[in-house]
Amino acid sequence: MINNRAIDKTDWNASSIDETLSMVRDEVDKVLSASPRIIREYTAHLTKSTGKYIRGVSLLTCAIDKEGAIHKDAIRFAAAIELVHLATLVHDDVIDNAELRRGELSLQKKYGKRTAVICGDYLLCAALMLAGDASDKEEYLKFDMPKHLSRVVLGELQQHINNANFDLSVHRYLKIISGKTAALFEAAFYAGSILSETDQRIIRKYSNLGRYIGMIFQLTDDCMDFETTEHVAKKPVQSDYEQNVITLPLIHAFRTLAGFKEKAATSGLKREEINEAVRKAGGLIYTRSLAKKYYMKSLKILEELELSQEKHLRLSSILNSAYRVF
């Protein structure tokens, strides 16, 4: 289905991705540093732990139209997406009792869990207000940010419900991360594409691409918990099982090794036992193989989309950054 709505080019600009991304960072910093006085000290602390803005970059890239211009609402949507992501990290650190976030003290470690939870809630509200300030209300309604937020929250809840569930299936796990992690990438790709495209079939391809890339990012993260150091990751590693989070490499070990799941359920597991079991069962190899399937699906979509050379290169770069350890 093609939407024939006329596009008013007065709301577009020809700024580069880097220039537009700088505007997105300014929007996020404004929310964090100039928030109401009662919460400003806490949100200002978060300016030290903002990341690479990969979701924001994804949205801006998808928003590039055929003339190379980007709608100004993409800046608001990208900043809103990054605020939602930051809110989920704040809440994750409370749940995991994490002390570090991107090399800095986590909000919950510095100010306490209750303060961190409330700040995370505030960030979600700020994100909704920012997205709602879009100049084109029709595009905001099409974005339907609350729907994407609910998928992220329900994914987090599903993970929590399945903590220490040694019977967690691969199918159920993939469904969990499709909400917890992939839904926000899907939202970013969708939000960008509705600003640059009118054909709903093309917009669905962008959404699928975002979901696949989000799945790859999470599967990559699952492997990093076994393969990297806290210094490199700038967050706790070797900690998923200790937080009762069962990830795909361990699920595969439970399915493959006789008696391993029963031992976990009855007497618990030491980190050395987990690492050896995952190695013996080929848990990382299995996780990589699933990530590769999503990678190949993503490549197929990139070939199907009629993209400029710059847009193709940028989306390929985002995909390859997700697939970075494979």
Tens of pLDDT, residues 255-311: 999 999 999 999 889 989 999 999 999 999 999 999 999 999 999 999 999 999 999
In a 13 Å sphere around the CA of 246, the CA atoms on its Cβ side amount to: 26
Taking the C-alpha atoms of residue 64 and residue 310, their distance in angstroms, rounded to an integer, is 10
Domain 9-322: top CATH class: mainly alpha
Whether the predicted pLDDT of 139 surpasses 90: no
**Closest to 223 (Cα-Cα) out of 299, 286, 178, 155:** 286
**Among candidate residues 93, 87, 125, the one with its CA nearest the CA of residue 111:** 93
Asked whether 215 and 280 are in contact (CB, 8 A), the reply is: no
pLDDT in tens, 18-65: 899 999 999 999 999 989 999 999 999 998 767 789 999 999 999 999
Q: What is the pLDDT of residues 153-207, one digit of tens each?
A: 999 999 999 999 999 999 999 999 999 999 999 999 999 999 999 999 999 999 9
Would you say the C-alpha torsion 279, 164, 172, 323 has a positive or negative sign? negative
> Which long-range contacts link 2-8 to residues 24+ away (Cβ below 8 Å)?
2/198, 2/199, 2/200, 3/198, 3/199, 3/200, 4/198, 5/138, 5/198, 7/198
What pTM does this model have? 0.90
Question: Which of the 8 DSSP states describes residue 146?
Answer: H
